[in-house]
Amino acid sequence: MDLDAELDSYLRARFTLLLLVTAEEERALALVRGVCERARRPCVTWDAADGFAGLAAAPATLPAARDPLAALEAIDRWEGEALFVLKDFHDCWGNAVVKRKVRSVAQRLRRSRKSLLVIAPAPKLPAELRDEAVVLDLPLPSAAELEQVLARLAETPGVKVDLTRLGREKMVSAALGLTAAQAQRAFARAIVADGTLDDRDIELVTAEKKQLLRENEALDFHPIGETPEDVGGLGVLKEWLRLRERAFTREAVEYGLPAPRGIALIGIPGTGKSLTAKMIGGLWRLPLVRLDMGALFGSLVGESEERTRRALRLAETIAPCVLWIDEVEKGLAHGGLDSGTSLRVFGTVLTWMQEKTAPCFVVATANDIAGMPPELLRKGRFDEIFFLDLPTLEERREILGVHLKKRGRLAEDYDTTRLARIADGYTGAELEQAVIDAMYVGFNAGREFTTADVAAAIARLVPLSHSQRETIGALRRWLLEGRAQSASFREASEAAALFVGATEPPAAG
């Protein structure tokens, strides 16, 4: 049932005390006015500054009362049907006399056709009033409402809007989770930046969602800057992501496509799992939110579970978004040493992943397969499980090119093919470090660093494939057993052909 229909049903059923929870007073008043106008029900507002004022079908003469007790007495004496909207009345809950008066008036109004509606930003009611009141929540604006906000702004003289159809959808999606006023300010700020609202301003609107995360310690907002060009290799994973780039659009919904649920990125440390999570936000132009599992745990009984539920609700509020859970095996590691708290947090997260309907795309990264509960990886939690292995020869060339370009150099000025060959068994993070080490050599020598400098840096590094040979071997066997899809190879058999029979860390190229 829509909120306006729900409110109307409570009023017709003569519920005498209602609490409407929202920070959007103007939007709440517009909704209440519409409900009362359709039912031809008189509606009057009251606040401590202006006293009584008509909202819908109100009489010309209204009582003069700016004191809350006097206002309640005037409502008690009011003749006929009416809805009284009390603004900022939650500030009076601490006054014992006012609190008692509200309870008494609400009880007497049951014999009339009058009701009290308190608009408050939080669902806090005194214990004495909880049995008397019904609590209603005004949800944040829907996509259709935000589109109306955008349309009204576009009609403003001097405002230029140059959005494509897909860009308009993504702009509205980027504003989901904001109030109507916040969305209008975000759109206006984007226009002021360059005089036009176009597809390039989607990131500016997305950045406004940072305000929603400041008070939640478990969620961090990551600006979206990485693109597929910033990630070397992983061709299969990139193709999978590009195929779902339009999955959160209205067109996809009308086609009957469900929104993607998420992916798990398993593999060797340093192969780009965290970078890939950041890249997804940039590719899909969705806000990237990192869930810090460690910050969910509190010292008080029940605090950890409540933090978890609050963080997940907030993630749903700003959806569509990418929710990144880094090193999930550490955050969800459970044992019997914490009175079952981690088990309950783990269960809350798993249930949410299975039952969520909000378009929150979960990206869970992990290095240690042994530390991951089997129920986390079963079908239904994730759309796909990808394994990120040591880069192949071609991927190593591409990764070297990415890091050279990132530091203002042209890959064509370096023999990346030679460097890729001698870096067999090195991760992407190790290749990046080799480029940085070579830059230090060139910088201190007062010259540009060379291919030889990078080759020397590669030779000095001890790759993880040697220092952690057994661990990496176990991870690769996990892939060859068919438990995940390779992020680089189209078929598992292609990966197996490279690795089968290898006694040393196998050559990835």
- The candidate with the shortest Cα–Cα distance to 276, out of 378, 361, 203, is 361
Mean pLDDT is lowest, of 28-42, 150-164, 223-237, 476-490, for: 476-490
**Among 17-31, 127-141, 169-183, which is the least confidently predicted range?**
169-183
Query: pLDDT band at 258, cuts 50/70/90?
Result: confident
Question: Which region, left, alpha or beta, applies to residue 289 given φ > 0 means left and ψ of -120 to 50 means alpha?
Answer: beta
Rounded CA-CA distance 381/186 in Å is 34
Q: Residue 506: what pLDDT?
A: 39
Q: In this model, does residue 351 exceed pLDDT 50? A: yes
- Per-residue model confidence as pLDDT tens digits over 118-146: 999 888 888 888 888 999 988 888 888 88
Minimum mean pLDDT among 73-77, 171-175, 296-300, 346-350: which range?
296-300
Class of domain 3-137: alpha beta
Indicate the domain borders of the chain.
3-137, 143-208, 219-388, 391-509
Q: How confident is the model at residue 504 (pLDDT cuts 50, 70, 90)?
A: very low
pLDDT at position 56: 87
Please tell me the distance from the alpha carbon of residue 279 to that of residue 200, in angstroms, as a whole number. 17
User: Edge-to-edge strand order for the sheet containing 82-87?
Assistant: 51-56, 43-47, 82-87, 114-120, 17-21, 134-137
Is the CB of residue 508 less than 8 Å from the CB of residue 498?
Answer: yes
Note the CATH architecture for domain 391-509: Orthogonal Bundle (1.10)
Give the model's pLDDT for residue 447. 95
Residue 113 scores a pLDDT above 60: yes
Whether 497 shows a pLDDT value over 60: the answer reads: no
Tokens of 295: 């910050």
Q: What is the pLDDT of residue 204?
A: 77
Interatomic CA distance for residues 174 and 183, integer angstroms: 9
- 164-168, 184-188, 213-217, 325-329: least confident range: 213-217
Decide yes or no: CATH 3.20.20.60 for domain 219-388. no
Percentage of the chain beyond pLDDT 90 is 32
pLDDT at 63: 84
CA angle 462, 226, 308 (to 5 degrees): 90
Cα(382)–Cα(325) distance, integer angstroms: 13
CA-derived radius of gyration, the chain: 29
Do the Cβ atoms of 485 and 389 come closer than 8 Å? no
Q: Is the pLDDT of residue 496 over 70?
A: no
pLDDT greater than 60 at residue 337: no
Please state the pTM of the whole predicted model: 0.66
pLDDT at 404: 95
Average pLDDT over residues 263-290: 87
Share of the chain above pLDDT 70, in %: 90
User: 393: which 2 tokens?
Assistant: 């020869």
Q: Do domains 143-208 and 391-509 have the same CATH topology?
A: yes
The architecture that CATH gives domain 143-208 is Orthogonal Bundle (1.10)
